[in-house]
Structure 1
Amino acid sequence: MKKIFTIAIATLAIASIQAQDINDALRYGQTDLNGTARFRAMGGAFGALGGDFSSLNVNPAGSVIFANNQISLTLSNFNIKNNSNYFGNKTSENNNSFDLNQAGAAFIFENGSAKSDWKKFAVAVNYENAKNLDNSIFSSGTNIGSSIDKYFLSYANGVPFGNIDNFYFDELYFNEQQAYLGYNSYIIDPNNSADPNNVDYYTNIAGGGNYYQENAIESTGYNGKLTFNASTQYKDKFSFGINLNSHFLDYKQSTSFFEANDNPKYAIGSTVDRVRFNNQLYTYGTGFSFNIGTIFKPTKEVRLGLAYESPTWYKLTDELSQQVVTSGYGLNPAQDNTLYSTQVTDPNVTMIFQPYKLQTPGKWTGSFAYIFGKRGLISVDYSMKDYNKMEYRPKNDYPNENKAMSNLLTSSSEVRVGTEYKIKKLSLRGGYRWEQSPYKNGNAIGDLTGYSGGLGYNFGSTKVDLAYAHAKRNYNLQFFSQGLVDPARIENITDNVTLTFVFEL
C-alpha cells in the first residue's frame, strides 16, 4: 500500500516542487461542445436563440424563451480516436464512453399585469459535463539521438548530490525527486560521487544510436458544471439573463513510457538499455464562474445576442506517484558488470502537492439568428477567447508557467453555424463549427473543424432529439515537459451520439 505524503512548505519553495504546465492549463481551460442533442446537432449556435438548456452556457438570457416549464435529460456516447505519428511510425488508439451528459429543469413565470413592461421571468438549474476527459493515446517509434536520460539530466544538473543520496524521496522538492529517480534507477550518476556538493551528472545510457520508444496515456474524468440561471423579458424585445456556475473537476491520468536500445555498450561502467517510467496523476478540485447576456429582437424574424462568460477560477490539488524500472548490464555496481539485471525504483509514495489556483480565459459571444416563421431558422455565433490571459496563482509562485502562456498563447476565435427545418412535428437539423488554435504557432495545436446533424420529434408534452457530431483536430504531444521533448503528431477525431428527452410540465 502506498504511503501518502502531503507537501506543505514555505511559499518561496512552491515553484520548485510543483509540476503544472501549459498543457494542464489548456486541458481545463478548453471545453467540448457538449449538451443537449438539439444544441449539438446545430453546432452550438444558440446565442441568439435560447429555448434550450445548453444554450444557457452560451447566453443566459435564453431561458426566458422557453414557452413552458420543462425538464431535460441527455445521454451521450463519446468515441475518441487518436492517430499518432512518431518519427514516421503510425499507431492508433480508441476510447469509447457512455455518459449522463446533461440534466436540467426550467420554470417560467408570466407577469399578468398589463401595466408592467416586464413580461416574463424564468429560473433554471442545469448540469452538464463541460469536458469529457476520458482518452487513450499510444505512440511508438524510433527516436534518432534523444533518450529518456535527457529528462532526468535536465532536472538533476544543478541539484547537490548529497540531497538525493542522503534524503528520503518524500523530503525532496519535485526537481530533486526526478533526480532521485534517475540516480537510483542507474540512469544517471554524479560526476563525483565522493562530493555531496556535486551538481553535475552523466548518463549510463549509451549514446550515438537509436532509441525505440513507446508512450501510452490512459485518462478518465469529467469537468462538471452546475448552473443556476435567472432571466427576464422586457417589452417583448429584450431578454436579460445571468448564470452562477459551480464547477467540479476530477481527472486521473496514467502514463507509461518505455525505451529500448541496442547501442554499443561502454567499455567500463554500467549501461542501461531498457527503461520503463510510470506516472499516476490525480487532479481534483472546484471552481466558480458567471455568465451575463442579452437577446434583442428588432423584428419578428431577427434575433441578436451578446453574452460574456467570465474566467473560471479553479482551486485544484494534484496527487502524483512515480516508478522507474530499468534493465541492463551491471546495474548494481556490487554485481558483476557482465550480469544482466533489473532495477525497480518505486518510492511507494503518493505525493499530494499544495493546492494551487488556475484562472481560465473569459469569452465574449456575438450571435445572429433569422427565424423563417414556423418552418425553420438559421443561426450564427462568433466567440472570442483570450488564452494568453490564463494564469496560475499566486502569480509569484508560477512566473515561468505564466510567462510561457502569455508568450505562446493567443486569442482564439470560434464560429458556429446551425440550421433547423420543421416538417410538421419533425425537425431536421445541421451544424458546423470551427475553432482557432489557442497557440500563436498553430502547429502546436491546430484548428478544430466539426460537423453535426440530427433530428427531433415533438410528441406534444414530450420531445425526443437525436444528434451526431464529428470533429477533428491535430496537435503535437510531448511525452515530457523538458529534456526529452520530441513530439508525436496526434490526429484527434471525436464522434458523438446524443439522445435527449424533454418533458414539458
Structure 2
Amino acid sequence: MKTYKLLVASLVVLSWTGKVSAQNEVDALRYSRQDFGGSARIQGIAGAQTALGADISTLSTNPAGLGLYRRSEFSFTPGISLSGTESSLNGRSSLTDQRNIINIPSLGIVFTKRKSDSEESDWRSGAFGVGLTRLNNFQNRYSYAGPVDQTQSLVQSLGETAIANNRTEANLDQEYDDGIYSLEGLGYATYLIGVNKIPTEPNNPNSPLREEIYVESQGNVTQSETVSSKGAQNQWDFAYGASYRDKLYLGASVGLTTLRYNQKRIYREVDADSQTDFQDLTLTDEFTTTGSGVNLKVGVIVRPIDAVRIGVSVQTPTFYTLRDQYTTSMSSTFGGTTPGNYDLAMTPGDYEYNLITPMRANGGVAYFAGKYGFISADVEYVNYGGARFDSNDGGDSFSDKNDVIKNTYQSTLNFRVGGEYRYNIFRLRAGYALYGDPYKNSDYDRDKRYITAGVGIKQESHFFDLAIVNARYNSVYSPYSLIDNLQPVVSTKNTTNSVLFTVGFNF
C-alpha cells in the first residue's frame, strides 16, 4: 500500500490550494532533470563528450576540455524543435497536440594561448571560455478528453478536500469574504460544493445540528483539459582549462543558470444529462516561475596514449533563488430550476523560495582511430532524491515536501555513446543516449531515449555542422486526487525532433 501511495503522489499534480502549494516534487524534478545540450557536433553524437574536449560544449560538461584547444574559436548554434504529444485518459480517448519553437542551444567564444614547440614548459597551453548552453526546453502542450463517473470528477475531489481539511460553513464563508485562497473555497463560492445542516439524531428534529459537506449532483460527465507550457533553462559558463605536457588536462568553471517556466491549464467538466442542475465548470490556472542559480564544476582529462582519452567531471548542486506567481479562477453553469452562472478567482499568489538541485558526476572515455574519427561514451550519475526546497526566511515550511522528494525519486545513471567518421574535410556522426527513470516505485516506464545523427564540414579557419535529435519519453499526470485513488490518469507519449546547425570560426 505504501508503494502504491508513493506512485499516486508521483502522478498527481494538484491545482493551487494555497500560497506555497506550487513548490512540490514535480517542480524539483523539472529543474533537476536536464537534456544534453551544446553544439551541433556534440548533439550529433548524443552529448558523449566528457573525454573529448576542444568544443564549446565542454564548458557546461567538463571544462578540462578547454586545455585541448590549439586555436581560439567562436561558434553560434541556432535550432528549431518540434514537440508532439499523444495523450490518453484512463487508457482510451487518445488526442494529439504539438508545438514548435526556434531556440539557441549553444553560443560561445574561447580564447586560447598556446606555447610554441620550441618553448620549454610543462604547461603547454591555457584557454578561457564563455558560453551559453540551453539545459531544458519547456515548450510543450498536451490535451485529453473522455467520460468519467461523477464519483471520479473534480467536484467529488473538491468535496473530499473540504472534508479532509475540516472545513465548516463559517470558515468557508469567511474565506469568501476575505479573499479565496483554496480550491475547495473556490468550489464553495461557485456552488459546486456546499454545507448541509442535519440533526445529529435522524429521528429527532430537535436534536443539535451537525454540518455535512455535500457535492453538487452530476450526471454523465465528460472532462477535458489542455495543458500548455513554455520557457527554458539556460546556463552561462565561465571556464578555464589548461594542458600539462599534452597528457593531463585540468579545468574549472562557474555556471550561472537562469530559468523561466510558464504553465497554463484549462480544465472543463460538462454534464451531458439535461435533467441535472449542474451543466458545466471550467477551472483555469496559470503560474510562472522565474529565477537564477549558480554552480561550480571541475574536470580532468587524461591522455595515456594518443588514441585514448579518459575524462571525469563533477558539478556541485545548483543553488537557485526562485519566484512563483500564479492565478486560479473557476466558473460554473447551472440550469434546471435554479439557473445561474458563477465566475470567481483566488487571490493571486506571489512567493519566493530557494531550490537546490542535485550534484552531477560524469565519466567518459574516447578512442581515436587516427585520422578516421572516434568513438566516445559517457555515464552520468544524478541523485534526483537529493533535491531540496528551502524558504528565504530560514523556516522549516518545506520539510514535508522534501520528504516527498526523497521518498519519490532515486539516483539514476544516464548513458551516452556516439561516434564521428572523418573523410577529408567531411564529418559523419551518430549517437544514442538513455536517461534513467528517476522514480523509485512506478509501473510506468519514464526513461528518456535519444537517437541522433549529424554531418559537418571542417576547414582551416571555419566549420559548419548540422544535427538531428529525436527524443522520446512517457509522462503520467492526474489533474486532482481522490481518497480512493481512483482519480483519472492521463498518460502521454512525448516526442521532440530538433534540427540545429553550428557555424564556427577559428582565429
Q: What is the TM-score with the length of structure 2 in the denominator?
A: 0.88
**Cα shift readout 1:163-209 (whole Å, capped 9, x = no counterpart):** 3312457756xxx4222211011111123499xx9885221133xx6
1:115 shift after superposition = 4.2
**In structure 2, C-alpha distance between the alignment counterparts of 1:193 and 1:130, rounded to whole Å:** 57
2:51 — aligned with what? 48
Q: Structure 1 unaligned runs (5+)? A: 1-13, 330-336
1:401 shift after superposition = 1.5
Letter in 1 for 2:102: F
Q: Relative to 1, partners in 2 of residues 1:318 and 1:485: Cα closer, same or farther, differing over 3 Å?
A: farther
- 1:159 has 2:167 as partner: yes
**In structure 1, C-alpha distance between the alignment counterparts of 2:406 and 2:488, rounded to whole Å:** 23
Q: C-alpha root-mean-square deviation of aligned residues, in Å?
A: 2.4
- SS across alignment from 2:185: helix
1:459 shift after superposition = 3.3
Q: Structure 2 unaligned runs (5+)? A: 1-16, 200-208
1:8 — aligned with what? none
- Overall identity of the aligned pairs, in %: 27
**In structure 2, C-alpha distance between the alignment counterparts of 1:376 and 1:360, rounded to whole Å:** 36
**In structure 1, C-alpha distance between the alignment counterparts of 2:86 and 2:177, rounded to whole Å:** 37
Asked whether the equivalents of residues 161 and 193 of structure 1 are also in contact (C-alpha less than 8 Å), the reply is: no
1:160 shift after superposition = 4.0
Show the 5 A alignment for 1:119-138. 119-138=124-143
Letter in 2 for 1:350: P
1:481 shift after superposition = 6.2
1:29 — aligned with what? 32
Show the 5 A alignment for 1:70-219. 70-87=73-90, 88-111=92-115, 114-144=119-149, 145-157=151-163, 158-167=166-175, 171=179, 176-192=181-197, 201-206=213-218, 210-219=220-229
- SS across alignment from 1:298: strand
My pick for the range that moved more, 419-428 or 122-131, is 122-131
Show the 5 A alignment for 1:231-310. 231-262=241-272, 271-310=277-316
Q: Relative to 1, partners in 2 of residues 1:210 and 1:447: Cα closer, same or farther, differing over 3 Å?
A: farther
**In structure 2, C-alpha distance between the alignment counterparts of 1:447 and 1:364, rounded to whole Å:** 19
**In structure 1, C-alpha distance between the alignment counterparts of 2:316 and 2:198, rounded to whole Å:** 54
Asked whether the equivalents of residues 176 and 185 of structure 2 are also in contact (C-alpha less than 8 Å), the reply is: no
1:263 shift after superposition = 5.4
My pick for the range that moved more, 419-428 or 317-326, is 317-326
**In structure 2, C-alpha distance between the alignment counterparts of 1:232 and 1:169, rounded to whole Å:** 65
Letter in 2 for 1:286: S
1:469 — aligned with what? 469
Asked whether the equivalents of residues 60 and 133 of structure 2 are also in contact (C-alpha less than 8 Å), the reply is: no
**In structure 2, C-alpha distance between the alignment counterparts of 1:380 and 1:365, rounded to whole Å:** 11
Q: Relative to 1, partners in 2 of residues 1:79 and 1:118: Cα closer, same or farther, differing over 3 Å?
A: same
Asked whether the equivalents of residues 70 and 114 of structure 2 are also in contact (C-alpha less than 8 Å), the reply is: no
2:345 — aligned with what? 346
1:254 shift after superposition = 0.9
Q: Relative to 1, partners in 2 of residues 1:78 and 1:453: Cα closer, same or farther, differing over 3 Å?
A: same
How many residues are matched?
A: 472
**In structure 2, C-alpha distance between the alignment counterparts of 1:34 and 1:317, rounded to whole Å:** 25
**In structure 2, C-alpha distance between the alignment counterparts of 1:85 and 1:488, rounded to whole Å:** 6
Q: Relative to 1, partners in 2 of residues 1:33 and 1:350: Cα closer, same or farther, differing over 3 Å?
A: same
**In structure 2, C-alpha distance between the alignment counterparts of 1:198 and 1:383, rounded to whole Å:** 59
**In structure 1, C-alpha distance between the alignment counterparts of 2:384 and 2:226, rounded to whole Å:** 28
Show the 5 A alignment for 1:293-442. 293-329=299-335, 338-347=337-346, 349-353=347-351, 355-394=352-391, 396-442=396-442
1:239 shift after superposition = 0.7
- SS across alignment from 2:362: strand
2:13 — aligned with what? none
Letter in 1 for 2:94: K
1:154 shift after superposition = 4.3
My pick for the range that moved more, 144-153 or 434-443, is 144-153
Asked whether the equivalents of residues 186 and 272 of structure 1 are also in contact (C-alpha less than 8 Å), the reply is: no
2:495 — aligned with what? 493
**In structure 2, C-alpha distance between the alignment counterparts of 1:170 and 1:123, rounded to whole Å:** 57
**In structure 1, C-alpha distance between the alignment counterparts of 2:285 and 2:210, rounded to whole Å:** 28
- SS across alignment from 1:400: helix
